[in-house]
Structure 1
Amino acid sequence: MPSIDAAAQTVFADLNQRCADAEFDRDFPENGKFIKRTIKAREYWYYQGYDAATGTKSNRYVGTVADSETTRRVEAHDRQRVDYRTRIDAVRMLRSAGFPTADALTGRVVERLAQAGFFRLRGVLVGTVAFQTYPGLVGERPMRALRTGDIDLAQDYGISVAIGESMPPVHEELQAVDASFRPVPNLSRPDRTSAFANANGFRVEFLVSNRGSDDLTGALIPMPALGGVSAQPLRYLDFLIRDPVRSTLLHAGGISVTVPAPERYAVHKLIVANERTEREKQAKDLTQASFLIAALARNQPVALAASWVEAWSRGPSWRRHLETGVARLDETGRIAITQAVCTHGEMLGYEPTQVGFPASPA
């Protein structure tokens, strides 16, 4: 797979920072102030704003004080605005360098939801659209772009309940992009929806972790922070969206998004590929996993090994899925994950034989 040269990686890193800063500036105008609140022994930033036109005050969730990037932006709130034209030029340069870009509809939908506060409220972009943002994070790009006809978005239920704020109605936000978006009916709960589709079948779906019985899969869960939307509970999603990272979706001047850490995405794909009933989707999962595993094994092997070990430690069913997933990888992927886990066992405090691999790479 093609490596990304140092110049392009620098451009992406700079764009990633600029887009995140620009989103922060947009969400929190300079006429407000930031305060700390302690909730259940954890400190959080909140923004107290004032709308001069209406005379109303607002309190908006910002993030955790422990998040160094959030705290840095709070402390540097009075800096100059980011130059949008510079960001457009950076996106154009990265597209020319072979970075994956979002199609027009995907870009507009993600941008609209970002502006509505989805990522500020700790939502996470998952699925193939998230995968498109990884080359700049892992230092390599896939041989071919993988396209999709849907957008998958996730949020932790506990966060959605505790955050004390909600996006505007999601249906209205989607219709502002394409008026043909309609809720997808749910047979068991007609009064709830977790997905919307437009006239061409393009789908936007909201997901949440299923940490209870498998019987809950399919039973939609109301999400207080998501603008009237419920979410589809899925097994293994809690592993995927834990400790997400910031990346940039290449559309217009770049869209700052929160995505799963690439090492978690790779390991998660090994697991969920085994539950696919459609061969095409299973093949896509394994292709994405193999790409990320090979790139991470070269550039971030400790993170990859640590994610594997964490997943392995979650129990017998996880181990069965991981073993089957590795067996289904292409040879490059199998060798890469084996070498990463076996080589870094001593550093991470385990023997390879304890986590499903031989004592040394084959």
Structure 2
Amino acid sequence: MRISDSGIFPKDVQEILKALYSIGFFESAILIGSWVILLYKEPFGIDYSLRTLDIDFGVKNTISPKARPIDPVFTELGFIEVLDRSGASGYTKAGLSVDFLVHRKGGKTKDVLNIPQWELKAIPVPYINLMFEFTFQAEFDEFKVRAPLPEAYFTHKMIIAQRRVEPGKKEKDLDQCSIIAEKLNEKRLQEVINSVPIGPGTRKNLRASCKAIGFSTKKLGLKD
């Protein structure tokens, strides 16, 4: 999808996206987190006031023909590498913080997972895979970015909001969902929901999030 204004992103963020695109990063990765919503305004009519300096990318542990170590990309842009207590890779510059997330399979897993193709360690998070299954490509003049469709992002946030430990993050997730809910494509939402294994815990989380934002559980295929 063509997006006319790359100025929706600050200069530092544009530089990150442009540099990552140049090495083929988005062939096996997507932009996730709050910055995604800026991509929704022009093609989907979703307008949201961004309030974060955290930039998250979802990565797949697959082979890309243009893959190379990610560290030089960020060091050339003036970012400093930081490792949290779990050993997960991250970068920071002038308040901006960059993290990498990967799909967590099953129950408990390692604190971090090695992603050899980029020589980084990513944080395992549940249900990241559903955002990879429903994506679109935002095309700017100098770079392209792959990101989850609104329905996939919405579903992911509706599930994980109830798993948040920090109340502020839960509140932000639900706030974003309430904005996106007004512009959802119901047919596409059903396709996303049908792709998710919904066990008792996930069903409970979805119901709680629906109640919190006043969204009908029937639209998620859940019986009242």
Q: TM-score, normalised by structure 2?
A: 0.88
| CA displacement, residues 55-97 of structure 1 (integer Å, 9 cap, x when unaligned) | xxxxxxxxxxxxxxxxxxxxxxxxxxxxxxxxxxx328xx7xx
Query: Deviation of residue 254 (structure 1)?
Result: 5.6
- Which structure is larger by alpha-carbon Rg, 1 or 2? 1
CA contact (8 A) 1:123 1:155 kept: yes
Query: Deviation of residue 148 (structure 1)?
Result: 2.0
Match of 2:26 in 1: 119
- Flag the 1:212–1:309 CA change in 2: closer, same or farther, 3 A: closer
Pairing 1:285-324 to 2, within 5 Å after superposition: 285-296=173-184, 300-311=185-196, 313-324=197-208
Match of 2:99 in 1: 205
Query: Deviation of residue 164 (structure 1)?
Result: 5.7
Matched, 1:245 2:136: yes
Query: Deviation of residue 263 (structure 1)?
Result: 0.7
Query: Deviation of residue 303 (structure 1)?
Result: 0.8
CA contact (8 A) 1:137 1:247 kept: no
Distance 1:113 1:202 in 2: 16
SS at match of 2:195: helix
SS at match of 2:57: strand
Match of 2:5 in 1: 91
Pairing 1:26-45 to 2, within 5 Å after superposition: none
Q: TM-score, normalised by structure 1?
A: 0.56
- Aligned partner (choices 68, 71, 77) of residue 171 of structure 1: 71
Distance 1:170 1:164 in 2: 13
CA contact (8 A) 1:114 1:257 kept: yes
| Seq. identity, % | 23
CA contact (8 A) 1:126 1:153 kept: yes
- Flag the 1:314–1:116 CA change in 2: closer, same or farther, 3 A: same
Distance 1:280 1:314 in 2: 26
CA contact (8 A) 1:171 1:182 kept: no
CA contact (8 A) 2:100 2:122 kept: yes
One-letter amino acid of the counterpart of residue 136, structure 1 = E
Match of 1:357 in 2: 223
| CA displacement, residues 242-289 of structure 1 (integer Å, 9 cap, x when unaligned) | 23221246xxx3631111122111111111111223333222211221
Matched, 1:141 2:25: no
CA contact (8 A) 1:167 1:225 kept: yes
Distance 2:64 2:186 in 1: 38
- What is the Cα-based RMSD across aligned positions, in Å? 2.3
- Flag the 1:147–1:186 CA change in 2: closer, same or farther, 3 A: closer
Distance 1:240 1:321 in 2: 18
CA contact (8 A) 1:221 1:232 kept: yes
Distance 1:114 1:147 in 2: 24
Query: Which protein, 1 or 2, shows the higher relative CO under an 8 Å CA cutoff with sep ≥ 6?
Result: 2
- Aligned partner (choices 101, 117, 121) of residue 225 of structure 1: 117
- Flag the 1:254–1:304 CA change in 2: closer, same or farther, 3 A: farther
CA contact (8 A) 2:37 2:46 kept: no
One-letter amino acid of the counterpart of residue 121, structure 2 = S
Unaligned 5+ runs, structure 1: 1-12, 17-89, 96-100, 342-354
- Aligned partner (choices 75, 90, 110) of residue 195 of structure 1: 90
Distance 1:141 1:237 in 2: 22
One-letter amino acid of the counterpart of residue 17, structure 2 = V
Unaligned 5+ runs, structure 2: none
